[in-house]
A and B are shown apart, each in its own frame.
Chain A
Amino acid sequence: MTDLTELGIKAIREGVKAGDFTAREVAEGFNANVAAAESLNAFITATPDKALDAADRVDADRAAGKELGSMAGVPIGMKDLFASEGVQTSAASHILEGFKPPYESTVSRKLWEAGAGMLGKLNLDQFAMGSSNESSYFGEVVSPWRKQGSDAKLAPGGSSGGSSAAVAARLAPAATGTDTGGSIRQPAAFTGITGIKPTYGRCSRWGIVAFASSLDQAGPMAQDVTDCAIMLEAMAGFDPKDSTSLDMPVPNWEAALSSDLKGKTVGIPKEYRMDGLSADVAKAWDDGIQWLKDAGAEVVEVSLPHTKYALASYYIIAPAEASSNLARYDGVRYGLRDLPEGANLQEMYAATRAAGFGDEVKRRILIGTYVLSAGFYDAYYTQAQKVRTLIQRDFMNAFDQCDVILAPTAPTAAFELGEKTGDPLEMYMGDVFSVPASLAGLPAMSVPSGVNGDGLPLGLQIIGKPFDEQGVLNAGLALEERAGFTAKPQKWW
């Protein structure tokens, strides 16, 4: 019998439906993998019983001849940023340790309604702030990948590092992620999996712990493009409880998947050929260009002239929004309270927040507070929002000449844990290719393209027009079919 934990969403769904195996067998297989992988630290909380309960419901529905949902029998990992009713939702922070929401996030509720089950809550960078999963209060996640001939621990990427590690190590066939400046795409690239951030507003933000609300967007992380299409369909949709939710129908992305790119034009942004781009990533990019040509697309050079200002704009806007969003953690309504002997209310706030937030979170709150403060607001925040308008305009001009844009996901393959923690700015630089699409609210996906000389996976990024997830998925599928990526991490955990 095949190892059920090697299967992805579609194969599990079809197998359960056909009766080749039961949903319970699938859940048991993944529960066992989760329990045996503690050294990866991918999960903050495992919920094996929830996975089994959901599986039993699917098996019962099938036995009763009921119609099964699009995710029926598929157990998934849930990033611990989505509110789970009655289950600790920590955002990988101390300040929310023990917080059990009395409600379920819209995105996770939709997944359960589609027949998915929850294997557990996945580790992440604290409040999704980071690119390596090293800022988690619950410890770093270790990538299942290792460089050939080395046992140094590698970063799984961030902030959705528990999600990427879990899918790559087959602890889950798929997982949710959230992407504020690349937090789905970069970890997907680092671990040889596929992930898509849809157009801003496609997935409801209701019940997702807020980081930077004008950028935060949920999306799926899975083994391949088809699985991403299936899962995104289940996650997306209008939600009146999110004021920025898009009130438009969710297309049937899975059914319309096509890797035939005849008549399509792919733009290659010349400004992305920058210093710091590693030779293996540049080679992967060239391969990708050729693959899309082979799929029938025409390839043209496009210009995104404000690319070099994207990171600076992002590292003002995101901390500004974070400083505002995280003001709610005050030790009064939920989470941690630190009340020193004799402290008054103001002192309690300051003590609670000092004890409850990690260094990176504090750094961003302070930067955000500074750029929003009187006298600096226009020079920093307003200027950054104007530059953001220009960055979006660049994309719209480029889309006059092309349907999708092809670029690397990250400038390098995965780095070692600890390699960049000494210099926050160096860590930020790794987001250079992912941040622009976030600032412009565009759908963007990472697809594995191959491995580098060290045997580590690399990812290619497709960026699309607003609402054109289909174009992104189709170009992703064309890359996937030609890349023939089959590498897997050697099991050591």
Chain B
Amino acid sequence: MSVDKATVAKIASLARINMSEDDLDTLVPEFNNILSFVEQLSEVDVTGVEPMTSVIPNQQRLREDAVNADPLTGGDIRDKVLANAPVAEHGFFGVPKVIE
């Protein structure tokens, strides 16, 4: 299967990445090369084969049902959470206005 420029533009928009016309012109043939390469998977007989969900058998665990069971990943660290934000105001992340 091959994709056209409009399709790649649509994918880029879904992925929230701006692409110029030049970017798209470069990407479309690369995209199609990669897709035609992975296309060979369709020839594999996978009748009765389950898709892999866990590469090493492992049990899902639940953490202790307690506030701040692990202080590293718990609460009360607002300033640390905001420390790397490009814009932080009044204890919140700052973003462009979303409601007119």
Query: Which A residues lie at the B interface, using CB under 8 A?
Result: 98-103, 199-201, 214-215, 240-241, 243-244, 246-247, 306, 308-309, 311-313, 315-316, 323, 327, 330-337, 339, 343-346, 348-351, 353-354, 357, 362-363, 365-367, 369-371, 373, 379-380, 382-390, 392, 424-425, 428, 439-441, 466
Interchain CA distance A134-B57 in the complex, whole Å: 35
Q: B72 interface residue, CB < 8 Å from A?
A: yes
Q: Do B96 and A348 have beta carbons less than 8 Å apart?
A: yes
Chain A residues closer than 8 Å to B59, beta-carbon distance: 247
Main secondary structure of the interface of A (DSSP, over half): helix
Q: Do B84 and A99 have beta carbons less than 8 Å apart?
A: yes
Q: B65 interface residue, CB < 8 Å from A?
A: no
Q: Do A315 and B38 have beta carbons less than 8 Å apart?
A: yes
Chain B residues closer than 8 Å to A246, beta-carbon distance: 56, 58
Chain B residues closer than 8 Å to A350, beta-carbon distance: 13, 16-18
Which partner residue on chain A sits nearest B46 by CB separation?
A: A386
Q: Do A315 and B37 have beta carbons less than 8 Å apart?
A: yes
Q: Which of A102, A339, A345 has the most CB of B within 10 A?
A: A102
Interchain CA distance A176-B16 in the complex, whole Å: 32
Chain B residues closer than 8 Å to A380, beta-carbon distance: 38, 41
Interface 1/0 per residue, B24-67 and A, CB below 8 Å: 00010011011101111110101001111111101111010000
Interchain CA distance A328-B95 in the complex, whole Å: 15
Q: B6 interface residue, CB < 8 Å from A?
A: no
- The verdict on A366 contacting B12 (CB below 8 Å), with A331-B86, A379-B42 known, is yes
Q: Which of B42, B44, B85 has the most CB of A within 10 A?
A: B44
Q: Do B55 and A312 have beta carbons less than 8 Å apart?
A: no
Q: Do A387 and B41 have beta carbons less than 8 Å apart?
A: yes
Which of A240, A354, A366, A389 is in CB contact (< 8 Å) with B11?
A366
Which partner residue on chain B sits nearest A102 by CB separation?
A: B80
Which of B16, B63, B87 is in CB contact (< 8 Å) with A353?
B16
Which partner residue on chain A sits nearest B38 by CB separation?
A: A312
* Nearest 10 A/B pairs, CB to CB: A385-B51, A441-B55, A337-B86, A334-B84, A354-B18, A386-B46, A102-B80, A349-B16, A312-B38, A369-B15
Interchain CA distance A200-B87 in the complex, whole Å: 37
- The verdict on A243 contacting B46 (CB below 8 Å), with A337-B87, A350-B17 known, is no
Which of A365, A370, A387 is in CB contact (< 8 Å) with B17?
A365
Which of B42, B49, B63, B98 is in CB contact (< 8 Å) with A389?
B49
Interchain CA distance A105-B12 in the complex, whole Å: 32
Interchain CA distance A223-B61 in the complex, whole Å: 37
Which partner residue on chain A sits nearest B53 by CB separation?
A: A385
Q: What total of chain B residues lie within 8 Å of the partner, measured CB to CB? A: 54
Q: A240-B70, A390-B49, A425-B34 are in contact. List 11 more A-B contacts (CB 8 A).
A: A100-B83, A243-B60, A335-B84, A362-B27, A365-B17, A371-B38, A380-B38, A383-B46, A386-B51, A389-B49, A425-B33
Q: Do A315 and B34 have beta carbons less than 8 Å apart?
A: yes
Across the A-B interface, how many residue pairs have beta carbons closer than 8 Å? 170
Q: Shortest beta-carbon distance, A333 to chain B, in Å?
A: 6
Chain A residues closer than 8 Å to B39, beta-carbon distance: 312
Query: Which B residues lie at the A interface, using CB under 8 A?
Result: 3, 8, 11-19, 27, 30-31, 33-35, 37-42, 44, 46, 49-56, 58-61, 63, 70, 72-73, 77, 80-81, 83-87, 93, 95-98
Chain B residues closer than 8 Å to A200, beta-carbon distance: 55-56
Q: Which of A215, A316, A367 has the most CB of B within 10 A?
A: A367
Interchain CA distance A382-B59 in the complex, whole Å: 22
Q: Do B14 and A369 have beta carbons less than 8 Å apart?
A: yes
Which partner residue on chain B sits nearest A381 by CB separation?
A: B51
Q: Do B40 and A353 have beta carbons less than 8 Å apart?
A: no
Q: Do B44 and A306 have beta carbons less than 8 Å apart?
A: yes
Which partner residue on chain A sits nearest B43 by CB separation?
A: A309
Which of A103, A243, A466 is in CB contact (< 8 Å) with B61?
A243
Chain A residues closer than 8 Å to B58, beta-carbon distance: 201, 244, 246
Interchain CA distance A200-B84 in the complex, whole Å: 31
Q: Do B85 and A332 have beta carbons less than 8 Å apart?
A: yes
10 contacts across the A-B interface (CB closer than 8 A): A200-B56, A201-B58, A243-B60, A311-B37, A323-B15, A384-B38, A389-B51, A390-B49, A424-B33, A425-B34
Chain B residues closer than 8 Å to A327, beta-carbon distance: 16
Interchain CA distance A387-B50 in the complex, whole Å: 9
Which of B11, B30, B33, B38 is in CB contact (< 8 Å) with A373?
B11
Q: Do B98 and A344 have beta carbons less than 8 Å apart?
A: yes
Which of B8, B12, B44 is in CB contact (< 8 Å) with A309?
B44
- The verdict on A336 contacting B16 (CB below 8 Å), with A312-B40, A315-B34, A345-B96 known, is no
Interchain CA distance A473-B46 in the complex, whole Å: 34
Which of A101, A312, A357, A389 is in CB contact (< 8 Å) with B50?
A389
Chain A residues closer than 8 Å to B13, beta-carbon distance: 350
Q: Do B41 and A309 have beta carbons less than 8 Å apart?
A: yes
Chain A residues closer than 8 Å to B60, beta-carbon distance: 243
Q: Do A354 and B17 have beta carbons less than 8 Å apart?
A: yes
Chain A residues closer than 8 Å to B70, beta-carbon distance: 240-241
Q: Shortest beta-carbon distance, A325 to chain B, in Å?
A: 12
Interchain CA distance A306-B45 in the complex, whole Å: 11
Interchain CA distance A323-B14 in the complex, whole Å: 11
